[in-house]
Structure 1
Amino acid sequence: KKAIVATLVVSGMLAALAGPIPAGAEAAQEQQHEQQSVSKEVKIDKKLAAKLQKAIKQYAGKEIKLKNVGEKIEFSLSAKVESVDGKYAISFHIDGGKIWEVSEKITIDKISKEDQEKILKVLKKAYANKTYEFNKEVIMHRGYDGEKEKLGVNLSYELTGEDFNIFFLKENSAKEHKGRVGGFEIKFTKEELDPKLLETATKAVKTAFNHDLEVTAANLRQIFWTLEDKYVSLEIVKGEVTSLYHKSRKAVTTNKEITEKDAKEVVAPLAKELFNIDISEYEVKWDNLFKDYCFVKGKATEVRAALDAEKNVVYIKSGSRAAAGN
């Protein structure tokens, strides 16, 4: 459960639950950043260092000087250590030191024109009204079998542009994934957004939080649109709002302050207006893992919400986001 909390709750909700920094807190924030920077370091003992050197030599075909310390990968139980020149990196599990990937910075000309066109086609299909130009630098990721201590089959490229990044799976142990484009993210300014999308988002935020949305950042990941401003963020899938978060509100962590019955009274009208879901006959359960209220139909969680001490919604979500809790 602790692992699930670390990977799902933190990654999915940290930004949403973090509030604006109070005036005069700059010094404390700076000190916190320094502490976090130190805590990200992962010590490398002699045994792990030998494994890392073996892996990088297998990959590069020559001796490569690595840094003496690793760095934790955000929202992960892994860390990576870079080469002194910054060209290479090796990723490994912090607990046990098993290596799972070697990466290298290469140039775009190492990727065939045919593959580049395949990648561009996916980006243009996702959103046509943009110009996509690849940066010259590309990250190449090669899988590594930490049990057998040898290079794996999986090979992928991470390409970036001015306002996008995308993965291309060149080689994969699962043949059906070979040569396929993987995940991507495209960033947008408020002016680039479709007016209908913006209207849907603005209306939902006003309904959920009585807040006027002023978009400061927006992105598209596969079919998931995320829009946010200083105080709120929301997700839209195929034109429908699926989740909303208020960044500055603090959720209650037990169901002692607000009962399940009270939670339903607050959430029911919002679920109906936001998602067109009538939860009046749904069972309400307190989820002690994610510290929120689940509205269950049969065995499926259809709606999930967290409330603050004043019975204001901190977040509310439906569909797969509600079911998974992330």
Structure 2
Amino acid sequence: GPSQRVVPQAHLTKLSYDDIINILDPLIGEPPDPLRKSIVNVPDGLANISTYLKFVDREKDVIQLMKNMEDLYRLIKNRNNYSESKKEIRFPTAVGTPGKGKTTFARRAYEKSGIYSGVISSDVMDAVEECQEAGRTFRVVCNDFSVAMHPNIEHESLFGKVLLYEALKYRLKSFTHNMLINMLEGNINLEDILKVILHYIPCLDEQIEYPLFIINIDETNELFDSGQGGLWLREVLRSLSRVITNNANRYFLFVVLSGTHASDLFEAVKSSNAKIEDISLPLLKFEHAEEVLLELANRGVVDEAK
């Protein structure tokens, strides 16, 4: 209520890149086997049919997403040519009913290079390939942390710490989001967070001018249900826009927003002064499911008779 005293955010110290490295270095383990990431959630011997299902008839959506990435790359390369480059950013959104495949789409669209190789430049193809190989594709899930629980941390800083956790969680054994947030006391600029991530997950190809980070901010509906989240997201998007358009930065940040509350999400993006690239992800039709089941039967994954 109104009687609660809000501590001014400015009172927290600023942590520098070197501060963060000094805190993390003693805790960081070896990079995991890259395969472990993808199979960590799949029970042994189970063919996960949903991943087949959710990519039927998605060509148009994959192409739309990758054209958006191509446009963003052009914007980053030609930042000087725009008077207000922040207003040129279009954040892709995948919204709508639960179970429609939004998260799967945001995570796996980039793997479908056969679909989009004809519509994007070789520079962007190289960046996507390197990003996937290095492992700089991150999913920030909005119900994994609470904005309300950290009233003294700047919005950008809280987002940055959660992103850092996502980047390093396989190497920070038995750590949770909150442990990392509390350990890195103080506020941190997003630029320094990205620099730390690149320190631990370096770019594998020195020909790449702007190393790509693919970031899916998922379950955004959790933010709107909790009240304060819309403001938080707006500020985070402003910070992301600042980093994307700042000439001094050599980062290629591709951010995809997903969740069930379309109008709230669109409102948050608009209020951040950016634009929206809405990827509609039509619901799957019965014949698509049938097609997938027959394909799996042919591969002997499911029993055709059943």
- Indicate whether the TM-score tops 0.5: no
Q: Normalising to structure 1: TM-score of the pair? A: 0.22
- Greater RCO, 1 or 2 (C-alpha within 8 Å, sep 6+): 2
Higher alpha-carbon Rg: 1
Q: Normalising to structure 2: TM-score of the pair? A: 0.23
Q: Which has the higher strand share?
A: 1
Q: Which has the higher helix share?
A: 2
